[in-house]
Chains A and B, each alone.
Chain A
Amino acid sequence: MSAKRTLPWPRLVFSRTRQDDQSGEAGAHASARFRALVMPHLDAAYSYARFLARDGTVAEDIVQDAFLRAWKGFEMCRGSEKQWLLTIVRNCFYDWMRSNRHISGCTESIDDHMNIPGDDELEGTLLGRLDMETIRETINQLPEPFRETLILRELNDLTYREIATLTQAPVGTVMSRLARARDMLGKLLVNYNQGGAGL
C-alpha cells in the first residue's frame, strides 16, 4: 500500500528530552543523563514487559535485566531512548522465553486460544464503560504478535515504522497485525459488554 512508500521518517517523539541534554557535556555525566532520559520510561518498560510476559514477577526480572543492559550500553543509544529501551526489554523477554520455555504459555496460536465472536453474533458496536482490569485482561487474551503490536501502538504511541523497527517486521505486517489486534479486541470487549461467554 502507498502508505509504506510515502511515510515520513519516524517522528522524533522524544526530541525534547534530547534538547535538554545539550546543556551537559556528552559522556561525562552518564549516570545523571541515564536518570533523566531513560528512567522516566520505567513504567512504559514495565508495562510492555508485563503485557509480553503476562506476569508481574517475570516482568520485574525482565525489566531489571533490561535496565542493567541499557546502562551498560548507554553510549550506544541513538535517537529515541524510549524505543531503544523497549527494544532491550523485548530482547530480554525473548531471552527469558528461551530459558523458560517449559513455563511459558506464550506460544499459543489464535485458533486454540480463544473464541472470537463473528460479526453476525454481535448486535451492536457500542462499547460501554469497562474497567481497567477487564480491558487489561482482555488484551492479555490476544495472542502474539497481535498483543505486542497493539501495546506498542496504543500504550506507547509508537509510529508504524518504529514498531516495525522494534519488532523486526515489515511495516505492512505491522499494519495487518494492528488491524487484526484491534478487530479482535473490539469484538471481545463488545462481547464482554453484552455478557457473552468465552472470556
Chain B
Amino acid sequence: MTACQNREMALHALVDGELDSLGCVAIEKHLRGCAGCRAALEQIEATRALLAQTNLQYQAPESLRTAISAMLPAGALSQPAAPKASARSSAPWLGGGLVGALAASLALLLVLPQLTEGGLEQELVGAQVRSLQVNHLTDVVTSDRHVVKPWFNGRIDFSPPVVDLVQQGFPLVGGRLDYIAGHDVAAIVYRRRLHTINLFVRPAPTLASPAPATMRFQSYRLVRWTSGGLEFWAVSDIDETELGQFRDNFIAATNKSSARQ
C-alpha cells in the first residue's frame, strides 16, 4: 500500500514537526480515511525510530581532536587542570598576564562548569558515548531487575540497587560493567523514549560531597547524588528536568524496595 502522492511530503513534515496546526488537522483528517497513507506513515515512523535508537554518529578520532586542539591557542582541552597552569606560558600570546588569567578562568568557567573532581564528568560522558557507539551498551540485557542485580554480584564488591521504573517512563534495559576513574563501576541502563540513560554507581569516595548536583558536559546532562554509601551519576542527553525526574523516581523506588525487605 502506498501513500497518496500529493500527501507524501505532508506525512514527512508531520513526523518532523514541521507542519503548522492547520496542516496537521488536514493530514490527520485525511489519515483517518486513508489506509494507504496510514501505512506509509507507520513505515516512516519505523524507519525514523530505527535511526533514533541506533547511535549512528561517528566519534571523531582522538588524534583529530588533539590536532584541532593544538591549533588553538592556550591550553589543552582534554586536561581539565591545564588552562590555569598553562596560562603563564601562553600569556604572551594573549597579550598580557591579566588577559591570560582572565581567559584561563573563563575557559574553566565555560568549558568545565561546576567541576567537582578532575575530569570525572568527562570520563562519565566518555563512557556514555562509548556505550552507545561500540555496541556495548549492556552485558546483561533484560528489563527484569531481579536478573540485573544478581548479575553484578561477584563482578564488583558492592551491590548497586536496581529498580524497575517502567511505570514512570524509564524502562530498564540492562546492565554492564564500566571503568571510571581507575575502578570498576556498575552501569545500569535505562531508556527514556529513544534516549539512553546510563546510571553509573560506585562506592562514594571518602571526600565526596553529599550534596546532589546537576551539570552539563558537552551536550550531555549529568545528575549526581549519594545514597547508602554509594555515589550515583545519571548521564544522558535528555534535559535536566527529565533527568531530575529520573533521579527522584529512582530514589523513591529504592527507598520503597529497601523498606519492604
A-to-B contact residues, CB < 8 Å:
1-3, 6-7, 20-21, 23-24, 28-29, 31-36, 39-40, 42-47, 50, 56, 59-60, 63-64, 67-68, 71, 119, 125-127, 130-132, 135-136, 139, 153-155, 159-160, 172, 175-176, 178-179, 182, 185-186, 189
Contact = CB atoms under 8 A, between A and B. Distances in A.
Contact of B57 (A32, A33, A47, A67): A47
B238 to A, nearest CB: 14
Nearest 6 A/B pairs, CB to CB: A36-B110, A46-B60, A32-B107, A186-B47, A6-B20, A40-B218
B259 interface: no
28 contacts: A2-B23, A3-B13, A3-B18, A3-B23, A24-B106, A28-B99, A32-B106, A35-B69, A36-B107, A40-B218, A40-B219, A42-B60, A43-B129, A45-B60, A47-B57, A47-B58, A60-B63, A71-B71, A71-B72, A131-B54, A132-B55, A135-B50, A135-B54, A153-B16, A154-B48, A182-B44, A182-B48, A189-B50
Interface in B51-107: 51-52, 54-61, 63-65, 67-69, 71-74, 77, 99, 102-103, 106-107
B43 A46 contact: no
Nearest to B217: A40
B74 A31 contact: yes
B120 to A, nearest CB: 18
Contact of B12 (A29, A36, A131, A182): A182
Contact of A31 (B8, B46, B50, B73): B73
B20 A2 contact: yes
B111 A3 contact: no
B220 to A, nearest CB: 10
Given A45-B60, A59-B58, 19 more contacts: A3-B9, A6-B20, A7-B20, A24-B106, A34-B72, A35-B110, A39-B69, A40-B219, A42-B64, A47-B57, A56-B61, A119-B1, A119-B2, A125-B43, A125-B46, A135-B50, A155-B51, A178-B16, A179-B9
Q: Which of A29, A56, A127 has the most CB of B within 10 A?
A: A29
B67 A64 contact: yes
Contacts of B109: 23
B12 A175 contact: yes
Contact of B77 (A35, A68, A175): A35
A39 B56 contact: no
Given A32-B111, A125-B39, A189-B50, A175 B13 contact: yes
Nearest to B132: A132
Contacts of A154: 48, 51-52, 56
A46 B64 contact: yes
A60 B64 contact: yes
A188 B153 CA distance: 43
Nearest to A46: B60
A28 B58 contact: no
B115 interface: no
A130 B46 CA distance: 12
Contacts of B208: none
Contacts of B64: 42, 46, 60, 63-64
A50 B57 CA distance: 10
Contacts of B2: 119
B42 interface: yes
A129 B59 CA distance: 22
B99 A43 contact: no
B46 A29 contact: no
A66 B139 CA distance: 38
B22 interface: yes
Given A68-B71, A139-B56, A179-B12, A127 B47 contact: yes
